[in-house]
Structure formats: structure tokens, C-alpha cells
Amino acid sequence: MKRTLTLKTAIGAALLCSLMISPFASAKPFPAGIVRLFSTNVAKPGNDPSWSNLNLDGMRLRPTWSDVQGTSGVFDWSSIDTVVALATDHSKMIGLSVGAGVFAPQWVYDAGAYKYGIQDGSGLSMPLPWDAAFFASWSTFIRAMGSRYDANPTLAYIVISGLGQNVETYLAKTPADAASLTLLGGPTAWKEAAKKIIAVYAEAFPTTPFFITAAKPFDSADGLAALQDLIEWGVATYPGRFGIMNASLNAHSSTIYYPNLAVYNHHTTQPVGFQMLCSASLDPVRLGGTLDMALSQGVGLGAHFVELYQSDADNPGYQTVLAAQGMALKSNLPVQPPQNLRIVAP
């Protein structure tokens, strides 16, 4: 009898394990298809022809922190809400980032965050990701954003900010910045701060995939190693939730560039995608080829979605390409397990 019970227990445990969904699994499906970069600062967003374009699966919004929270404790979500409502009405998904870095509002510095002047001639400043005062203010903002939007099914993905100068993870783009920022903490401090910020996004958006826009925080071997370590940590810590993308898709994109390799390596288990390097219509030389060539590279690297510019999204000559490549991107989606399974005892 004891042996029979042990066998039954083992079988039951195995069955339970096979049915259990990881506690880290996202309740929303991975975003997929063609996404248009869409401004939240237009007078009449509902008049945009992209809403009726069947070849576009969604819109990516990129407001800044100072747009949304120009004053401490006061949030203005109205421009985001307007576009999210339009997307819901037109059955489009939304990707959302709110840019921190150089777009941190002045009140963040008034509250004690260190104001680092970027040494590239731009005159811009940013808080450091590992600054405690910045982290406190930014964490509060992320949680407020998650409370407002995570439960909305139209929000398909959130893009992380606060790790670099804007949304991408570039922190030091010049040798002068690399030297100064290394003295202030360098790649080690950046990696640990990035983990803390990502953890806040994971907490604030428990059902929405959250994406890092990968780029070397420092142009050095240590900077690349920090990025690699961070991405592998994110994949291990948040399986099926931590998304990987970069903003440099072009006609020659390959796995030689680590952010592309990261997308390719994890496209069967994690949400992954790209943003176009530039508009194919307006800057084909920089793109290195045609829109079709660039999108084909994205598909070959395993991407599930690609974000592109308005000039390409609305171009009548590109619609056949968008239709075909959108289907190809969706075909890269892994089979995701059903969500929220309930096991009922007989």
C-alpha cells in the first residue's frame, strides 16, 4: 500500500508540475507584428490615417517624464489616455515608454538627485541611475504608471527607461563621459542600479511584458559585460516577462552586434523586438537598404515585432511589404502556455 501511495503521489506531483504556470509568466501575450511610432503631442490624434491601416498592429508611445509629471506629486496622463482609448476603439495594441534620463523634471534635482552634465556639447543633464534620490522619485512614478495601465489589455508592452540618457541603455557616449561616470560608479554601479529599476517595473506591471532597449552603457569591454550580465539576469529572473529589443534595426543587422544576438538567443522564450534605426523613406542610405531588407533581417533574428516611423507606416508603396513582414514576424512567436490555469481536484 505504501509503495502504491508513493507512486500515486509521484505521478500527481509530476502532473501538477506539468500543468503549473510559472509565477513569472505574463498574463498578456507577447506583442507581435508591425508597430508605428506615434506621438502623444498632436492636436487631433484621432484623425491620423494609421488607425484604419490594417497592416499596423499597434502604436508605440514615447512621452517624457517631464511631460507627465512636471510637478512633484502631480500626474497628467491625459495625452496617453487619449491615444490608448483610440487604440482600444481601433483594435490596436499599445507599447509605452516614458523617457527619464535627460527628460527628468527639475523637481527631481530639487529633491536631491545629483545633476550630471553630459559632456557631448548638448548642454543636457541627467540623474545617475544609481542615485538614491532619483531612484526614489522614479520608482514612485513607475508604480503610479503601473497602477494606471497594467490592467488595461490594450497596453501590450512597457519599455523600461531610467537606465541611460533616454530609453536606450546608453549612459556614456563620449570618452569624457565614460571617464567621469566610471569615477562615479561605472559599469558595476550601473548594472546593480539597472536590476533595481527593472525589479520595480516587474512589480508595477505584473501582467505586462517589460522591455529593455539594449545598447552598451559604456563603450568598453566592462560596459558590454555589464549589459550581457544584466540581460542574462533578466531572462533568468523573469522568464517569459523580461523583453529584449534594440533601436538599431537596419538592412545589415546581424548577430555580430550583441543586442541583436541577445534578441536571437532568447526569441523562443522571451518577448523580443526591434525599432528601426531610421526611416527607410527619409534616410535609405543610413538604413543600408530597403525597408523590406531591414524587416527581413529582423524576422531572421527572431523578432516578434518591429517599430517603424510614420513616414514608412503611412507610405502607400510599403503596404504590401508591411502585410507580408507583419505575418512573418507573428510566425516567430513561440507557443505560449495558457494563462491562469486552475487545477480542480477530482
Domain boundaries, the chain: 29-331
Range with the poorest average pLDDT among 20-24, 85-89, 249-253: 20-24
Q: Is the pLDDT of residue 14 over 50?
A: no
Spell out the residues 6+ positions from residue 97 whose beta carbon is closer than 8 angstroms to its own: 60, 61, 62, 158, 159, 160, 161, 167, 213
Bridge partners, residue 64, by sequence: 99
CA neighbours within 13 Å on the CB side: how many for 269?
12
C-alpha cell at 169: 541603455
36-87 residue pLDDT tens: 999 999 989 999 999 999 999 999 999 999 999 999 999 999 999 999 999 9
277-329 residue pLDDT tens: 999 999 999 999 999 999 999 999 999 999 999 999 999 999 999 999 999 99
- CATH superfamily placement of domain 29-331: Glycosidases (3.20.20.80)
pLDDT band at residue 27, thresholds of 50, 70 and 90? confident
210-228 residue pLDDT tens: 999 999 999 999 999 999 9
pLDDT band at residue 237, thresholds of 50, 70 and 90? very high
SS (H, E, C) the chain: CHHHHHHHHHHHHHHHHHHCCCCCCCCCCCCCEEEEEECCCCCCHHHCHHHHCCCCCEEEECCEHHHHCCECCECCCHHHHHHHHHHHHCCCEEEEECECHHHCCHHHHHCCCCCEECCCCCCCEECCCCCHHHHHHHHHHHHHHHHHHCCCCCEEEEECCCCCCCCECCCCCCHHHHHHHHHCCHHHHHHHHHHHHHHHHHHHCCCCCEEEECCCCCCCHHHHHHHHHHHHHHHHHCCCCEEEEEEEECCCCCCCCHHHHHHHHHCCCCCEEEEECCCCCCCHHHHCCCHHHHHHHHHHCCCCEEEECHHHHCCHHHHHHHHHHHHHHHHCCCCCCCCCCCCCCC
Give percent above pLDDT 90 in the chain: 88
